Amino acid sequence: MKCIDLDDFLADVAQRKAAAGIVDRDPDEAWQEAVARKVRKLERLAELAESGFTTDISGLGRYERRRLIWGGQPI
């Protein structure tokens, strides 16, 4: 069995990712986007609570919660 050098392996992975059009994202940017999504979700839940919506959503599935919170809008 042929042993591959780590640098060759990483170069091969980078070449395959480039050929497939996969771009690495900046981790800080991805983190900021995730935090912004969480803030929007909490703001939306606060709006629902202020409007009198008091249904417990903890028993709902992921997709049902999304549909209920966002009303079919893309997140």
C-beta separation of 69 from 42 below 8 A: no
Print pLDDT tens along the chain (75 aa). Answer: 678 889 999 999 989 998 998 888 888 999 999 999 999 988 988 888 888 876 777 787 888 888 877 776 654
The CA-atom distances, in angstroms, between 50 and each of 30, 53, 60, 62, 72 are 30, 7, 21, 23, 20
Distances (CA, A) of 44 to 37, 50, 51, 65, 66: 11, 10, 11, 12, 11
pLDDT of residue 22: 86
For the chain, the domains span 26-75
